[in-house]
């Protein structure tokens, strides 16, 4: 693959400057992450509730005696997915695992990922201040926080420096464009100027100077809204980013781990079908206006007014999140079971699922193409010769 971009270097791995974003539940697992790594990029497994990908673990879940059993099954699934992705990668690229700080079991997920051979841990959905402690016994594993503004980057760097550890890369995610859980306090803030890539990058370079880290060359990876080769080139050659992170365009590839209905729903969504709303974890979210989401948003005010703290409202019995609007009775945020809705989306159940998605059109329209073609386009600007995109 001919391109003119500098490689992304993480922990001695020389990689294409392409990071595949972690997408759960089950959207990015061994097939997608392994395929991206095989092409020389960073493939990322989303660690959340991976038992849904394994029939035997789903069957065992029905007999589970509580949260401890479900957590154990998810760790088994994570181990399988990491080892499968590494086999698929054939020693190329990098296989990382995304662990959400907002997930209650995040320390156990980090440890399992490291023990299973993951080459990197990516953590967002909260400041990952304690990630170095969790991965202390695995110095060969790259640690990559996800943040959205320079203030958070400054906080993380100062805290990590006290622990004699630096990030091996930093993902800078723009809430205005990314899919899933967004790094802003409210929907009204997602377009704030402080999240502008050029501004955050320049401010972060200044933070490096203030902290004496200019020579450390910590790669900065921009994420959110990267849907064209031209944007890749601008971010890498004009803004000074080391790589780009891409989610939705990889979610709809043939190698994506989700059901084909999931891929068609994401790929076929029009701009007016993509909406922002408050998720159960207290963060804004972006998704496709499916029948379930349309119905939920009509009832949202009433559901929030009737919110009450009751562990029995956890419809999966998983207690997956540290903070949950439904379980904890937090009336200003989402009132639904995130795990139930994301697992339905993974199965392609359009009438029941919650389909997270980035805000921008996809490079190949509603066409489902391969990981190789997708990476080739983002690295060279060349579309498949047989592709015809209307309009």
Residues 95-107: what's their mean pLDDT? 92
- Collapse the DSSP code of 103 into the 3-class scheme (helix H, G, I; strand E, B; otherwise coil) and give the result: strand
* Tokens 């805290």 belong to residue: 159
Domain ranges of the chain: 8-259+363-380, 271-346
Residue 179 has pLDDT above 90, yes or no: no
Confidence tier at 312 by pLDDT (50, 70, 90): confident
Tokens of 21: 């974003």
Give the contacts of 62 (CB within 8 A, at least 6 positions apart).
Answer: none
Which of 101-105, 208-212, 381-385 is modeled with the greatest confidence?
208-212
Percentage of the chain exceeding pLDDT 70: 98
Q: What is the pLDDT of residues 143-176, one digit of tens each?
A: 999 999 999 999 999 999 999 999 999 999 999 8
Instruction: Characterize the bridge pairing of strands 284-288 and 274-278.
Output: antiparallel
Residues 376-388: what's their mean pLDDT? 91
pLDDT of residue 63: 86
In the chain, how long is the greatest CA-to-CA distance? 57
pLDDT of residue 283: 85
275 vs 359: CA distance, rounded Å: 8
pLDDT of residue 1: 64
58 vs 187: CA distance, rounded Å: 35
- Collapse the DSSP code of 60 into the 3-class scheme (helix H, G, I; strand E, B; otherwise coil) and give the result: helix
pLDDT of residue 66: 78
Q: Is the bond preceding 25 in cis, omega lying within 30 degrees of 0?
A: yes
Confidence tier at 386 by pLDDT (50, 70, 90): confident
* CA trace torsion 73, 77, 80, 84 (10° rounding): 170
Long-range contacts of 187-190 (CB under 8 A, 24+ apart): 187/276, 187/277, 187/278, 187/284, 189/284, 190/276, 190/284
Q: Do 375 and 93 form a contact (C-beta atoms < 8 A)?
A: no
pLDDT of residue 316: 62
* DSSP structure class, residue 333: S
pLDDT of residue 143: 98
In CATH, the architecture of 8-259+363-380 is Alpha-Beta Barrel (3.20)
Long-range contacts of 349-355 (CB under 8 A, 24+ apart): 349/261, 350/261, 350/265, 350/290, 350/291, 351/290, 351/291, 351/292, 352/292, 353/262, 353/290, 353/292, 354/287, 354/290, 354/292, 354/293, 355/262, 355/265, 355/266, 355/269, 355/287, 355/288, 355/290, 355/293
Q: Can you give the pTM of this predicted structure? A: 0.94
- Collapse the DSSP code of 52 into the 3-class scheme (helix H, G, I; strand E, B; otherwise coil) and give the result: helix
40-49, 257-266, 277-286: least confidently modelled range: 277-286
Looking at the DSSP bridge assignments, the partners of residue 42 are 19, 94
């Amino acid at each position: 693959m001919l391109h003119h971009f500098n490689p992304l270097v993480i922990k001695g791995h020389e990689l294409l400057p392409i990071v595949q974003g972690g997408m759960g539940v089950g959207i990015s697992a061994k097939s997608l992450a392994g395929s991206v790594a095989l092409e020389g990029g960073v493939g990322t497994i989303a660690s959340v509730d991976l038992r849904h990908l394994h029939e035997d673990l789903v069957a065992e879940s029905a007999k589970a005696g509580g949260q401890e059993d479900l957590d154990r099954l998810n760790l088994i699934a994570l181990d399988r997915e990491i080892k499968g992705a590494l086999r698929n990668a054939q020693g190329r690229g990098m296989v990382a695992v995304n662990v959400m700080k907002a997930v209650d079991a995040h320390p156990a997920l980090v440890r399992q990922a490291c023990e299973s051979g993951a080459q990197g841990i990516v953590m967002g959905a909260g400041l990952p201040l304690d990630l170095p402690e969790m991965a202390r016994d695995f110095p060969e594993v790259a640690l990559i926080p996800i943040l959205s503004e320079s203030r958070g980057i400054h906080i993380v760097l100062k805290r990590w420096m006290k622990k004699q550890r630096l990030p091996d890369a930093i993902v800078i995610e723009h809430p205005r464009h990314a899919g899933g859980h967004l790094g802003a306090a409210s929907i009204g803030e997602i377009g704030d100027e402080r999240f502008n890539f050029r501004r955050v990058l320049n401010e972060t370079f200044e933070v490096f100077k203030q902290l004496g880290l200019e020579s450390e060359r910590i790669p900065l990876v921009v994420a959110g809204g990267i849907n064209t080769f031209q944007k890749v080139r601008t971010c890498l050659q004009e803004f000074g980013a080391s790589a780009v992170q891409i989610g939705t365009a990889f979610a709809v590839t043939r190698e994506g781990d989700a059901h084909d209905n999931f891929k068609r729903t994401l790929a076929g969504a029009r701009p007016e079908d993509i909406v922002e709303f408050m998720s159960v974890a207290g963060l804004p979210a972006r998704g496709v206006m499916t029948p379930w989401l349309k119905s939920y948003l009509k009832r949202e005010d009433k559901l929030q007014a009737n919110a009450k703290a009751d562990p029995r409202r956890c419809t999966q019995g998983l207690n997956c999140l540290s903070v949950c609007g439904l379980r904890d009775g937090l009336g200003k945020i989402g009132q639904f079971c995130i795990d139930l809705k994301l697992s339905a989306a993974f199965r392609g159940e359009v009438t029941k699922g919650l389909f997270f998605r980035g805000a921008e059109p996809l490079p190949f329209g509603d066409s489902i193409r391969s990981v190789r073609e997708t990476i080739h386009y983002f690295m060279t600007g060349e579309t498949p010769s047989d592709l015809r995109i209307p309009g």
